[in-house]
Amino acid sequence: MAANYASLLAIVTTGILLRAAISLHSYSGEATPPMFGDFEAQRHWQEITVNLRTEDWYRNTTDNDLQYWGLDYPPLTAYHSYLLGKWAELENESYVKLHDSRGITTPEHKHFMRSTVLLADVLLYIPAILIACYTVRRKVTGGNVTGSDLICIMFAVLFPGQILIDNGHFQYNNVSLGLTAAAITALISNREYSASVLFMLALNYKQMELYHALPFFFYLLKRCFQDEDGIKYFTGVRHVLELGVVVLMTFEIVWSPWVDCWDLTLQVMHRIFPLARGVFEDKVANVWCIVNVFVKLKNFENSLMALICMLCTLIAVIPSSSALLLNNSKRNFLLALVNSSLGFFLFSFQVHEKSILIVTLPIMLIFQLYPIPCFWFLQIATFSMIPLLHKDGLLVAYVALTAFTLILLKTVLFVKNNFKSPKNVIFLDMFNVQSLSKNNKGKTEPVNVAWVYGFYCSLAGQVILLLGYLCLKAPTHLPFLWPLLISAYSCGHFVLFFIYFNYLQFCSHGNN
């Protein structure tokens, strides 16, 4: 057990050090006026929230030009920006001085902003993901704390995608992902009220958490009407009403500065769900970006495309989410989270390349159940963001972190040889292509190495595309050829994974 704690401490320490190292790199929009980038957007939100009245945070005024990084995330993000803005005022008033602070690029301010992201990692994201991995191990796989937890935790804490986006590109995905991880932990621990509050907080921090909403809804609905004694009708209705009150009260508290005025409420909603931006941004690895090669979707009205995207998304995600009404095992809940979020990423309106991080959260939690496909997914998810990372000057960091995680696979052999492994946990040595798993009789047997060879073929394709992107100039009539090829290649993977994880959910007969 002491070795477990020492290994856990080493993993967490490594994760913090890697995040600190990546924060030394450039960030989104560094020294690129007039809009700069996401770094400036987050800073500007601090400026707006500490200097303006609450009712003016989301509407266009003389002091709040919405064309210059206007707030477009839910109120909890605004509150977070306010707290950080107050901290910034204590550090240096110039960081958030109204109008005059735009585009500030001093080393001291960069250090301050980077520290705020690292603080969220340490206080929320890393603890939440650690507890979630442990809870899944205990509640879903039915095992105790063993080496397999360390494998899952290792790739969750050290996942390059989250580190590169939050600590490199610069965002606070760690807050919404941490809250969602805490909500998942509460739900699979049968604490429905806590789970509801935590997920509503996550949703009120980033609206993209809608990607996870349907599995939460259907799982809770089933839980309300069924327990160990069978179906319960009257108490089930009461339970649904109680959960509804909890959800509405959470929204009421978070939205209290705006709910008293219908016009203000509509303005906040308009900012959170903008239709004017189009079906996708840049070259994102989803279906619409690929369809756009053949049919120019931006020629269609945004309202029409939003309706088409909504219908296609619902068709993609409703089967896996509503299936929880028939089989609401905790394993199926986690798989439904994967299928719902991946379906939203592939088909919904206004998708950012960074939104793949929403899918990677439940992937991390089922890592100990399906390690090879999950590791592959995490790897291709980071690869799909290469055009963005390259634009931010983070390509060297991407290559270094990817190589680091690939090398970490070798440590799994040490875990396999030094801990008693529970059945159905796969240990992989992908460099020697000699993966082992425990069968139902407790004996080791080879895993289907097709997964391993498939991963290597995928990795080879990624290397070829990366080299082409860096070394070969695109034709003048196809200036975005390489980003498009990277997006199409990644999208192909995501579609296949979407089919695979749906298959796992519908063919699962477990009770956990």
Q: What is the DSSP letter of 275?
A: S
Half-sphere exposure of 25 (CA within 13 A, CB side): 26
- Residue 95 near residue 89 (C-beta atoms within 8 A): yes
pLDDT score, position 299: 84
Q: What is the DSSP letter of 61?
A: B
User: Does the bond joining 34 to the residue before it have cis omega, within 30 degrees of 0?
Assistant: yes
Which residues, including other chains, have CB under 8 Å from residue 339's CB and lie 6 or more apart? Answer: 317, 320, 321, 498, 501, 502, 505
pLDDT score, position 512: 57
- Residue 289 near residue 492 (C-beta atoms within 8 A): no
User: Interhelix angle for 481-506 vs 330-347, to 10°?
Assistant: 150
Burial 355-375 (b: 16+ CB within 10 A, else e): bbbbbbbbbbbbbbbbbbbbb
pLDDT score, position 434: 46
Q: What is the DSSP letter of 424?
A: T
Mean pLDDT per 10-residue interval, the chain, length 512 residues: 72 95 94 91 97 95 93 96 97 94 93 97 97 91 58 89 97 97 96 96 96 97 75 78 95 94 92 82 88 88 91 96 93 97 95 95 93 92 96 95 83 51 46 46 55 90 96 91 96 97 83 55
Measured CA to CA, the distance from residue 267 to residue 252 in angstroms comes to 16
Nearest to 58 by CA among 208, 276, 259: 259
- Residue 211 near residue 313 (C-beta atoms within 8 A): no
pLDDT score, position 509: 58
**Residues 429, 434, 439, 444: what is their CA dihedral angle, to the nearest 10 degrees?**
-100
Nearest to 254 by CA among 238, 276, 272: 272
- Residue 315 near residue 345 (C-beta atoms within 8 A): no
Measured CA to CA, the distance from residue 51 to residue 445 in angstroms comes to 64
Q: pTM of this prediction? A: 0.92
Measured CA to CA, the distance from residue 59 to residue 66 in angstroms comes to 7
DSSP string for 156-197: HHT-HHHIIIIIIII--HHHHHHHHHHHHHHHHTT-HHHHHH
> Can you read off the two tokens belonging to residue 59?
């509407």
The dihedrals phi and psi of 262, each to the nearest 5 degrees, come to: -60, -35
Cα distances (angstroms) measured from residue 303 to each of 261, 310, 315, 318, 345: 26, 11, 19, 22, 19
> Can you read off the two tokens belonging to residue 199?
């997920």
- Residue 379 near residue 246 (C-beta atoms within 8 A): no
> Can you read off the two tokens belonging to residue 291?
């369809």
